[in-house]
Amino acid sequence: MTGHPAEEADENINYDAGKIKILEGLEAVRKRPGMYIGDTFDRGYHHLVYEVLDNSVDEALAGHCDKIDITIHVDGSVTVEDNGRGIPVGIHPEEGVSSVQVVMTKLHAGGKFEKDVYKVSGGLHGVGVSVVNALSEWLKVEVCQNGKRHFMEFRRGEPLGPLKVIGETDKTGTKVTFYPDHTIFTEVKGFNYDTIVHRVRELAFLNAGLKITVSDERSGKSKEFFFEGGIKSFVEHVNKAKSPLFPEPIYFSGEKDNLSLEVALQYNKEYQENVFTYANNINTTEGGTHLAGFKAALTRTINNYANKNDLLRNGESISGDDAREGLCAVISIKIPEPQFEGQTKTKLGNHEVKGFVETIVGENLSRFLEENPPLAKAIVNKALEAARAREAARKARELVRRKGALDSAALPGKLADCQNENPEESEIFLVEGDSAGGSAKQARDKANQAVLPLKGKILNVEKARFDRMLAFEEIRTIITALGTGIGSEDFDINKLRYHKVIIMTDADVDGSHIRTLLLTFFYRQMQELVARGHLYIAQPPLYRVKRGKVEQYIKDEEEFADLIVSGGTAGVRLESADGKITDSGNLKQQVLMLQLIPSLLNVFHKERKDARVIRELAALLLDRKQEIFQDRQALEGIKEELVNNLSGKAVGEIQAEIKQKDTFYRLVVETRLKGAERKTEFGREQFLRAEFRKLADILKGAEKLGKPPFKLKEVDGEKELSLCNSYEELVSEIDRLGRKGLSISRYKGLGEMNPEQLWETTMDPSKRRLLQVNIEDALESDSVFSILMGDEVEPRRRFIEENALNTKYLDI
């Protein structure tokens, strides 16, 4: 990597066994893991990957590494491999064992504690790879160094043997593979590909020229991140769904006394400020001295330019908020000894940083404005528009204050408040419509539950200025009820009257829209309320199921399917044509999986592919690997089987051929479906798609049932209940049996429930389910809100096309 002086390596400095410093042992890690990685849930689980990854990035910062590969394996383990210098393999002078063993078994053992080895490191408060080792069921490390491959293995932090040479190599680097200990992470199912991708994308942006790949062997997904533009590319990524004020982000850098700074910024035509700050690759979400220096320099520089060029009217001034409206900026500082406030690394405290950043930003931004008058004028005009809107908002706020509309002493009339005045014990339901609001008011526990019915859809604040937002009655009602005030000058989270703010809407399209509008309002105007974990979404049931006098409520389709299949498979066994017998429990598991096939095939159907072709290919390619798409002869065999199998299923005329692109072959199959032509192209990319892999996995698992036709029999006798000629018939029959004797009601809205039902299912703290809204990834959260709720049509169209089948994004 080049272009960043702080990252260049000093060839005279050796990274060897003697440079590893040891601070303490690992005894407490397994007893109190939360002290070292934050928690033992998803966040801490993924932190294990980041600890290993940070070591590789430190090598990149020192100029010795430009490639990192992360692989999530099928068994749930993870590998992080880099092409750096490799952990020193020599004998440690103090410990008498290899430095690899020291690094892996001693807390805070690492070269980053020697300033002359790593000038900059992201892991000062980080506890290092030894904690990953301590919290893993097993860990394997491979070091390529001095022409040899060295290997060492550990179990729960304990070495299984000394470091040994296992071969020769011309490479250098470190490869760590580990499997987290699930006796510690008892509630975590596994690594989330998207969570790791988010962090990796961030690191690739912050380290120009560093290539990082993430591969998931479970799904076949893989992404490579490499940004020559570094944080300039970062800004372009954030602004991709917005309308930039000028085409190219402004970029500058500087250094002094071992401090180095990079800044990239670009304005857009929206109203939100997005400033991302980093210190040594660590996201300082609470800012700190680098952010303070940037803000001061930005405001002063824009005001100076505006005054110098007579762009201000009488009495006008540009505040810091005005100067940052519509701004997207990334500030990345590299510092030898960062001082973070607290263990969370979310606020930089080094006092020398503020003046350094202020000087660099002031000098470079002033030069840019002087050299680019049209852009400078556009930036100043944008800030002046914000200043005028701020003044209009102030007048609007004063006007509504005079009317008492924002005064929490004059609470809205339709608010049914609770009796308890302790915010920590109080909650408020924001309910869609007067009908559901009336039921909720009757159902609630008046002691600590407040209800605020909302009329219709609130304003989309993504597209509105502050003064227009305040003119909207329902928004003013929410602000008043919560008591926090609104706007950067007035908002005070400590005045929040309820520590649980619960959005309760119908499970239909309108309800989803209202929920999304409310989420947009809270994310854009009361983000601290969301960040502190005060915002929740109620989870009313989707079904009521009654058998005789016994009734139960079902939260979603997944739970409903489980109930029906459990009923349909209870007391039965399955016999296949080839003599396999499946008991009730295993039959249930297979049927639950087989039920997913139609929805998986529908993904391909919506892409105008023939689902029948995809279904048949999944069966034919069960035991094949992706290399088959480089073997024409093998693919010819698949083609012939496909045509023969489909011909016997009354599909009609079939045309199939093999085409080549680069070194890969693909099948092209033409069929007719309900009179319409269908052209299904299927190659390596389709084979590796998550939907196809899932489909193949389901069919592979179903082989345990044996071959059709299947006989369903009573478990205690020979009475035959049904004969099923295919998986599809089997699923249908189990569904029929499962529904016998049930009265099933599907709720379309909250208003359909009486107060007793609403209390029992949605409001009773001992029984209800609440979904807490968190900001796990600020960058992606901002992007999704901008795309879905902003003015730009093309990014929204593209997003919906790409994610129409991925409700994770839409059911926020």
Contact between 135 and 184 (Cβ < 8 Å) = yes
Residue 525 makes CB contacts below 8 A (sequence gap 6+) with 461, 469, 486
- Active-site residue among 8, 490, 510, 685? 510
Give the torsion sign (CA, 233, 239, 240, 245): negative
Residue 715 CB partners (closer than 8 Å, separation 6+) = 571, 572, 573, 583, 584
Q: Sign of the CA dihedral 465, 232, 4, 84?
A: positive
Beta bridge partners of 554: 543
Looking up tokens 């979404």 gives 537
| H helix count then E strand count, the chain | 27, 29
Q: Is 510 a catalytic residue?
A: yes
Q: In the numeric block, which tokens belong to residue 17?
A: 């066994």
Taking the C-alpha atoms of residue 729 and residue 591, their distance in angstroms, rounded to an integer, is 11
Exactly one of 24, 224, 337, 508 is catalytic; which is it?
Answer: 508
Q: What phi and psi, each to the nearest 5 degrees, are found at residue 119?
A: -60, -35
CB 678 within 8 A of CB 601: no
Task: Find out whether 595 and 731 touch, Cβ atoms under 8 Å.
Answer: yes
Instruction: Name the phi and psi angles at 783, rounded to 5.
Output: -65, -45
Is 224 one of the catalytic residues? no
> Which entry of 51, 202, 417, 432 is annotated as an active-site residue?
432
Task: Give the DSSP H/E element, type plus range, for residue 303.
Answer: helix 289-308
What does each C-alpha distance from 687 to 514, 631, 636, 691 come to in angstroms? 39, 14, 16, 9
The strand ranges marked E within 146-172 are: 148-155, 158-159, 164-168
Size of the chain in residues = 812
What single letter denotes the amino acid at residue 206? L
Q: Which two tokens stand for residue 7?
A: 């990252």
Residue 459 and residue 469 in contact, taking contact as beta carbons nearer than 8 Å: yes
Which tokens hold the place of 513?
Answer: 């829209």
Q: What does the alpha-carbon distance between residue 371 and residue 675 come to, in Å, rounded to a whole number?
A: 64
Q: How far is CA 447 from CA 416, 419, 426, 443, in A?
A: 11, 5, 8, 12
Query: What is the gyration radius of the CA atoms in the chain, in angstroms?
Result: 31
Set 236, 462, 474, 506: catalytic member: 506
Query: What backbone phi and psi angles, to 5 degrees, belong to 571?
Result: 75, 20
End-to-end CA distance of the chain: 39
Beta strands in 686-759 (DSSP E): 710-714, 720-724, 743-746
Q: Which of 232, 227, 211, 421 is nearest to 330 (CA)?
A: 232
The answer to whether the CB of 731 falls within 8 A of the CB of 594 is: yes
Q: Is residue 328 exposed (0-12), middle (13-18) or buried (19+ Cβ within 10 Å)?
A: buried
- Taking Cα atoms as reference points, which of 509, 555, 557 lies closest to residue 771? 555
Q: Catalytic residue positions?
A: 432, 506, 508, 510
